Structure 1
Amino acid sequence: MIDTIIFDFGDIFINLDKQATISGLQKLGMKEWNSELDRLNLLFEVGEISHDDFLAGFQKQLPNASKEDILDAWNAVLADFPLYRLEFLQMLSGKYRLFLLSNTDSIHIETFENKTGISFYSDFYRCFEKVYFSFEIGKRKPDPDSFKYLINKHELSPKRTLFIDDKKENTDSAAALGFHVWNLQVGKEDVVDLFEKKIL
């Protein structure tokens, strides 16, 4: 019997518009997303480089763009967070142990908090026993260590835990450790459909 649920954040609760960031960066002179931008993103997501180093790295790639321009493009990915998803989560929080495990960076989290306001994001975070962001714990999915970190910290039993994520490589990694998983199909499914999936 499942008593614990670990959720991803982006495209599970907050909607993402990845194309908006790509389009924004292209307007600033990016021809294509390249290996250096990928490296900067990955390092920033595990907290290995600072906010300033991340922006400086992007400015090297986009010499005509200001830091403000880059931040605007970077944050364009963050769309809306429907209230009905928060209400669904609040209902679940009385019945299950809930955790958040997100690959994200400090800029996106600060922007999310500023956009939604303290009342909303506090209500959201309160639903979880603990919130884990990759930039804070230095590990990111699908690295098995990111899941083992939660298992060890909270004495979780994978066979009693459901992990929900929109990326198949992440749910595959969790499944290999014995978790129940739901690889949510963005645009076709919504986290509030959970009980219809007959997983719990």
Structure 2
Amino acid sequence: MIEAIIFDLGDVFLNLNHQASVDAFKKLGLNAWTDDLKAAAILFETGKIDELQFMETIQKHLPNANLVEIREAWNAIIGDFPLERLEFLEKLQNKYDIFLLSNTNPTHIDKFEHRVGLTFAREFYAHFNKIYFSYEIKERKPDAAVFNLILKQNNLSPKKTLFVDDTLEHIEAAKALGINTWQILVGQDDVTNLFDKKIV
């Protein structure tokens, strides 16, 4: 029997538009996300470098772009948040312990909060027992450490915990620890259909 649910944020509750960010960077002259940029993004997601350091790393590849343009391209990925997903959370609140676990960075969280409005964001956050953002906890999926941290801090049993994410690599990492999983297939599934899946 499931007692706790750990949810991802992007493409589970918040829609992401990866192509919009790719297109925005292409307009600035960046055609490929290089290995050093990938490494910098991981450092940014785990709180090891700050926003300015990250933006300046990107700027080395885009000498003609200013930091505001780079920030806007980086944030172009942030999409909408359907209201029914917030209403869905309200149905879960008294039945399960629920947690939010996201590989993210302060720039995207700031954009998300401004996009949906602080009142909406606070209402969303209030539904969770605890929120785990990678840049705050200095750990990220799919590392086992991030799952073990949540399990240990909240005295959760893996076999009584469900993890919901859209990325297969993250799902497999949770499964390896004995956690129940549901991989959301973007464009096919919606988190609001959780009860239809007969997982909980």
User: TM-score, normalising length from structure 2?
Assistant: 0.99
1:188 aligns with 188
In structure 1, C-alpha distance between the alignment counterparts of 2:170 and 2:10, rounded to whole Å: 13
1:168 aligns with 168
Letter in 2 for 1:76: A
The 5 Å alignment of 1:121-132 reads 121-132=121-132
- How many residue pairs get matched? 200
Structure 1 residue 31: deviation in Å? 2.0
- Give the match's secondary structure for 2:11: coil
User: TM-score, normalising length from structure 1?
Assistant: 0.99
Q: Is 2:57 the counterpart of 1:52? A: no
Q: Deviations over 1:62-112 (max 9, x none)?
A: 111111100111100000000000000111112110000000001000111
Letter in 2 for 1:185: L
In structure 2, C-alpha distance between the alignment counterparts of 1:90 and 1:39, rounded to whole Å: 37
Q: Deviations over 1:50-69 (max 9, x none)?
A: 11100110111111111110
1:2 aligns with 2
1:42 aligns with 42
**Identical pairs, percent:** 49
2:31 aligns with 31
1:12 aligns with 12
CA RMSD of aligned residues (A): 0.6
5+ residue gaps in structure 2?
A: none
In structure 2, C-alpha distance between the alignment counterparts of 1:116 and 1:95, rounded to whole Å: 26
In structure 1, C-alpha distance between the alignment counterparts of 2:70 and 2:124, rounded to whole Å: 28
5+ residue gaps in structure 1?
A: none
1:135 aligns with 135
